Structure 1
């Protein structure tokens, strides 16, 4: 018996399918990580008021460093970094992380978690669009189009609405 149905779907290339699957798998994880940042901001604000903003930041990074150290020990042999061979600009993130957390600790008690997070989001998306557009830091270039400008504008509108609400 022969089947009379025809497959009208576009052929899927072997390279595109796993990449698309990975993209859809990672998206919820990134959303959950973003939710974690909101929780972190909610915890850091009161902690900063109680113990001081710099001590709160140090405690967060201390706990995170201890956790990462434990994960490194449990994950088996790792190829360690060769810091002397890395371009120095790649280590800038080591300065940006604590600055970000100190700003969270300072801002959250005064403007609230929602306002802090949407303001951070607007800064992140705005700079991310530029990084993608120009291919800075080795990122794959992705030109800014109308949809990206609209998305950025909507985030700014959300920032204004949350500030007014």
Structure 2
């Protein structure tokens, strides 16, 4: 898929939203508790998605019964992610949390792509990608070195 300007703008907006989400959830967690904040975040998100789903009527949620169990773990992974962010943002800051998460996400996604885990199509891990990941690790050290 070729990426156009709208795609980039949409991705940048989503990245900005993630930074704000980390801060919002972190402060909510200090007020209500970690698990409570994660629950509130997911409940509000679920309601918003329900409205969008009902208005768009594009998919068929009844087909979920045909999905293998592993495809239903996304919610658990999301709950883990949100809980970790809520716990760590007040302790180490939004920047540290997001930088470490981004490096972990890019490293893991590079391996997932390399082995074609979800698509069956391999996107090889090159020396350029490995170098870029190493540079991000170095950036993390430089960013937070006192």
| Residue 10 of structure 2: aligned partner | 29
Higher helix share: 2
How far apart are residue 135 of structure 1 and its match? 0.5
- Tell me by how many angstroms 1:77 deviates: 6.2
Hey, what's the Cα distance between the residues in 2 that align with 1:157 and 1:65? 38
- For residues 12 and 118 of structure 2, the distance between their equivalents in structure 1, rounded to whole angstroms, comes to 23
TM norm structure 2 = 0.91
Report the count of equivalent residues: 146
Matched, 1:124 2:105: yes
Distance 1:93 1:71 in 2: 19
Higher radius of gyration, 1 or 2: 1
Q: Which consecutive unaligned segments of at least 5 residues does structure 2 have?
A: none
1:95 and 2:76 matched: yes
Structure number with greater CO (CA < 8 Å, separation at least 6) is: 2
Unaligned runs of 5+ in 1: 1-18
Distance 2:120 2:142 in 1: 32
Give how far 1:82 is off: 1.7
CA offsets per residue over residues 116-152 of structure 1, 9 Å max, x none?
0000001100100100111112253111111101111
Structure 1 residue 23 displacement after superposition? 5.1
